[in-house]
Amino acid sequence: MQVATLDFGIEKVLKTLGIEEINQGSSTGKKWFSSGESISSFSPVDGELIAKVKTTTKEDYEKVILSAQEAFKSWRLMPAPKRGEIVRQFGDKLRELKEPLGKLVSYEMGKSYQEGLGEVQEMIDICDFAVGLSRQLHGFTMHSERPGHRMYEQYHPLGIVGIISAFNFPVAVWSWNTALAWICGDVCVWKPSEKTPLCGIACQKIAAEVFEANGLPEGISCLIIGDYKVGELMTTDKRVPLVSATGSTRMGKIVAKTVGERLGRSLLELGGNNAIIVTPDADIKMTIIGAVFGAVGTAGQRCTSTRRLIIHESIYDKVKNALVDAYKQLKIGNPLDQKNHVGPLIDRDAVSMYTHALEKVVEEGGNVLVEGGVLNGEGFESGCYVKPAIAEAKPNFEIVQHETFAPILYLLKYSGDINAAIEIQNGVVQGLSSAIMTNNLREAESFLSHAGSDCGIANVNIGTSGAEIGGAFGGEKETGGGRESGSDAWKVYMRRQTNTINYTADLPLAQGIKFDL
**E strands of 129-220, at which residues?**
140-143, 149-157, 160-164, 187-191
Question: pLDDT tens digits for 30-56?
Answer: 999 999 999 999 999 999 999 999 999
pLDDT of residue 397: 98
Q: Judge whether residue 20 has pLDDT over 90.
A: no
In the chain, the domains with their CATH numbers are: 10-270+480-496 (3.40.605.10), 274-469 (3.40.309.10)
Q: Is 269 helix (H, G, I), strand (E, B) or coil?
A: strand
pLDDT of residue 515: 87
What average pLDDT does this structure show over 215-238?
A: 98
Identify the pLDDT of residue 466.
84
Is the pLDDT assigned to residue 1 strictly greater than 60? Answer: no
Q: Would the pTM count as exceeding 0.85?
A: yes
Instruction: Give the pLDDT band of residue 77 (cuts 50, 70, 90).
Output: very high
Predicted local confidence at residue 249, as pLDDT: 96
Strand partners, 163: 190, 244
Alpha-carbon distances of 326 from 200, 285, 293, 337, rounded to whole Å: 36, 10, 11, 20
pLDDT at 422: 98
Quickly count: other Cβ atoms within 10 Å of residue 339's Cβ. 7
Spatial contact of 162 and 243, defined as CB atoms under 8 Å apart: yes
Bridge partners (DSSP) listed for residue 413:
311
Q: What residues form DSSP beta bridges with 414?
A: 312
* pLDDT, position 259: 98
Which of 15-29, 124-138, 185-199, 285-299 is the least confident region?
15-29
Report how far residue 266's alpha carbon sits from residue 359's, in angstroms, rounded to the nearest whole number: 36
Residue 517's pLDDT is: 79
pLDDT of the residue at 8: 66
Which residue type is seen at 129?
F
In this prediction, residues 445-463 reach a mean pLDDT of: 98
Kindly provide the b/e burial profile for residues 164-191, where b requires at least 16 CB atoms within 10 angstroms of the residue's own CB. Answer: bbbbbbbbbbbbbbbbbbbbbbbbbbbb
Burial class (CB in 10 A: 0-12, 13-18, 19+), 2: exposed
Task: Name the pLDDT band for 281 (thresholds 50, 70, 90).
Answer: very high
Q: How far apart are the first and last CA of the chain?
A: 76
Task: Tell me how crowded residue 30 is: count the other CB atoms within 10 A of its CB.
Answer: 12
Residue 265's alpha-carbon distances to 153, 160, 467, 506, 511, in angstroms, are 20, 12, 25, 39, 32
Q: What is the pLDDT of residues 338-359, one digit of tens each?
A: 999 999 999 999 999 999 999 9
pLDDT for position 516: 81
Among candidates 171, 443, 168, which has minimal Cα distance to 304?
Answer: 168
User: DSSP letter at 184?
Assistant: T
Question: What are the phi and psi torsion angles at 125 (to 5°)?
Answer: -65, -40
**Residues labelled as active-site residues:** 269, 303
pLDDT over 60 (residue 221): yes
pLDDT score recorded for residue 7:
55
Please report the beta strands in 145-273, taking only residues with DSSP state E, as ranges in sequence order: 149-157, 160-164, 187-191, 221-223, 242-246, 265-269
pLDDT for residue 5? 40
